[in-house]
Amino acid sequence: MTNKVALITGAARGQGRAHAARLSAEGADVILIDVAGPLPPGVPYDSATPDDLAETAKLVSANGRRAVTAAVDTRDHEALCAAVDDGVAELGRLDVIVANAGICVPSAWDQVSAQDFQDTIDVNVVGTWNTVMAGAKHIIAGGRGGSIILIGSAAGLTMEPFMIAYTASKHAVVGLARSFAAELGKHKIRVNSLHPGSVVTPMGSVELVEAMTSAAETNPILRHGIAKQLFPDTVMMPEDVADAVAWLASDQSKYVTAAAIPVDVGVTGT
């Protein structure tokens, strides 16, 4: 990744921060995008802050690489395109996109509000589409090919109860990756979706777990039907997902495209 440039959304903390730290450690400069402000009202965990985004930039600087930051909601197509344009103008190129920003609002099916469903689709699907649209043209302009990584979820490959909006959105990410891979292949741009299982991040907060537990009370049998990790006592950290992101971003995966790759300790295989 030496002297390459990566765009990362949802970069203020959690998996996005881990991706920024890892890719910059591999030699990349980065464009860091995060809303760094209030999330939709139905989201049961705290929002990232401008300080969180600044902390990610400090980690990149500590690796000796440059970081350009912007507080932008990925649902805002024009603002996102402008922020990416500015970042590319400053850093000189774009090689990798990691569309990581996403939200989750757990709830029983008949307790999902229309607004929560719309917000989840808008952030997880429209925001992902906006990210590719804002960045892919710059990779094409460079003429060197590149890699686009759409962060999905194990919920995008299997059934997840009490997450109807989230599951639908992450299944859509698979379709986005495959469709973009087909059309961007002629530019030697690889597009893949990456599907983590349960990861220790602010999204996996006590509040989210409580929301899941409350929803599960409406249909207890489903608590026992959810697939389990195949390794005992495994706790996945954001850095574990970043290892896979680094591989997909690098030339070591040069012939991998249109793939949906789970990093979930076997959850989607059971």
Q: Please calculate the CA angle 191-187-250 and round it to the nearest 5 degrees.
A: 50
Tell which residue, 148, 163, 156, 189, has the closest CA to residue 263. 156
- Would you state the pLDDT for residue 226? 57
Tens-digit pLDDT profile for residues 221-247: 786 655 678 888 788 899 999 999 999
**More confident call, 236 vs 19:** 19
pLDDT band at 266 (very low <50, low <70, confident <90, very high): confident
CA distance 219 to 8: 37
Strands 29-34 and 5-9: parallel
For the beta sheet containing 67-71, the strands, ordered from the edge strand earlier in sequence to the opposite edge, are: 67-71, 29-34, 5-9, 96-99, 146-151, 189-196, 260-263
Catalytic residue among 45, 117, 162, 166: 166
| Residue 255 falls in the annotated catalytic set | no
Tell which residue, 21, 117, 30, 134, has the closest CA to residue 74. 134
Tens-digit pLDDT profile for residues 129-162: 999 999 999 999 999 999 999 999 999 999 888 9
Tens-digit pLDDT profile for residues 23-61: 999 999 999 999 999 999 999 999 999 999 999 999 999
Do the beta carbons of residue 118 and residue 30 sit within 8 Å? Answer: no
Mean pLDDT of all residues in 181-186:
98
Structure token pair of residue 36: 């760094």
Taking the whole predicted model, whether its pTM rises above 0.85 is answered as yes
pLDDT band at 177 (very low <50, low <70, confident <90, very high): very high
In three-state form (DSSP H/G/I as H, E/B as E, the rest C), the secondary structure along 148-184 is EEEECCHHHCCCCCCCHHHHHHHHHHHHHHHHHHHHH
